[in-house]
Structure 1
């Protein structure tokens, strides 16, 4: 049974919370009465966000690509912001790489992408369980992508990491339910959004403000899976013809 979710008076940790979709999430969550803990690498973006929403946003500079960062972050939250009851794993990086071309940097790039996109959200989700479950209505939201359903050629590692995060989110949800933990575990399947994550091209990109609003609305409705914009159609196409979905997404 679905239950409505209210962000008012919640403390919400948003990774990548000062740029792109994360910035819009932070802004809109504050407007709904939440206090946001914004995590990011760029100090200037974090400072600007804190100045704009003085008193409603706590900032923490952290690089989730650094080994041990998820453990350190969860410990910091436990010690300084135990009222945190919502985790939104939004931070991600995408490398546009032809893996068939020999390059001394490609193995390190693979490791970095997996660490930020997969290892960090998995570890944060698990490490934050004791903090989140201490509250009556906690939530974990993992942002994946339509590319987890049908990958594109030039971002193989990103697509693989999002597919793995999608699988993990389902399993974690099942484990929480089996253990009677009252945690809403949602997946937001993101469309192509107008941020610096993806390359410029001829494809129309969804505005970050709308992507964030759709995600928040889906969490408020208690949805397990939140399909953003064109991913709703991709879901149907993939169900009817996986090969057609792959062809559509291959060169996106």
Structure 2
């Protein structure tokens, strides 16, 4: 086992599936004490079993400030400090301009923007100086996608957070970076495309647009997150790291 994160305390929000689960697992395999969140207790329990090691699951909806407070109460009781925050919880649905509802807007922004903001802000009293924050943005932050404007706007906001927060936290030497996945093989992606043949056809078409010729795997995104959180990236701050097979570059 690689021990790069031994004795480190890591928060992974949205850690029950996809990129969050793969990243939590990778941190645990490298010796970290990991706290994950998820909205559904059954999924949370399954993820804790799969991750193994020093992992604690906290049921929480990261759009709710009281749930974020409860997460950090648990962390303070069990670990007393935080070294890394991976603010990953998020999601979105298709809605073209003309069909966007207030509920769609509020739900997407509450989770992807408000949730990320307060996940990081409320972690600060427990964060060690010299720690690392990694935010999940998306290639949609810089490229247009039909019927996906609200989600894309939230991810542009997240990317902007990294640029600004690194300045707010510079005196504490806390680095803030964003990882921007492209199309990645997750349950959330399949649900977005309607599951079944519709999802497979959509993914096949998207893969044909990616220079690497395929969609990404959650474990590949996890490697990028661990790099940004590690001492190997000690002079990297405020960046957006695209992990997308080259799609954002064409």
TM-score, normalisation: structure 1: 0.81
Task: Report the number of matched residues.
Answer: 225
Larger mean CA deviation between 64-73 and 92-101 belongs to 64-73
Q: State the Cα RMSD in Å.
A: 2.2
1:162 alignment counterpart: 155
| Distance in structure 2 (CA, Å) of the matches to 1:125 and 1:137 | 15
**Aligned partners of 2:102, 2:65: CA distance in 1, in Å?**
16
Q: Secondary structure at the match of 1:128?
A: coil
Q: CA deviation at 1:54?
A: 4.4
Give the one of 185, 201, 211 matched to 2:176: 185
SS at match of 2:188: coil
210, 225, 241: which one aligns with 1:227: 241
Deviation at 1:45, TM superposition (A): 2.0
Unaligned runs of 5+ in 2: 194-198, 208-214
Residue 143 of structure 1 aligns with which residue?
A: 136
Q: Could you tell me how far 1:127 is from its partner in structure 2?
A: 1.3
Please tell me whether the aligned partners of residues 140 and 183 of structure 1 are also in contact (alpha carbons under 8 angstroms).
yes
Q: CA deviation at 1:187?
A: 1.1
Report the TM-score when normalising by structure 2: 0.81
Other structure's SS at 1:13 match: strand
SS at match of 1:228: strand
Match of 1:123 in 2: 118
Question: Shift in Å at residue 78 of structure 1?
Answer: 3.4
The answer for unaligned runs of 5 or more in structure 1 is 1-5, 238-252
Q: 2: CA distance between counterparts of 1:83 and 1:143?
A: 22
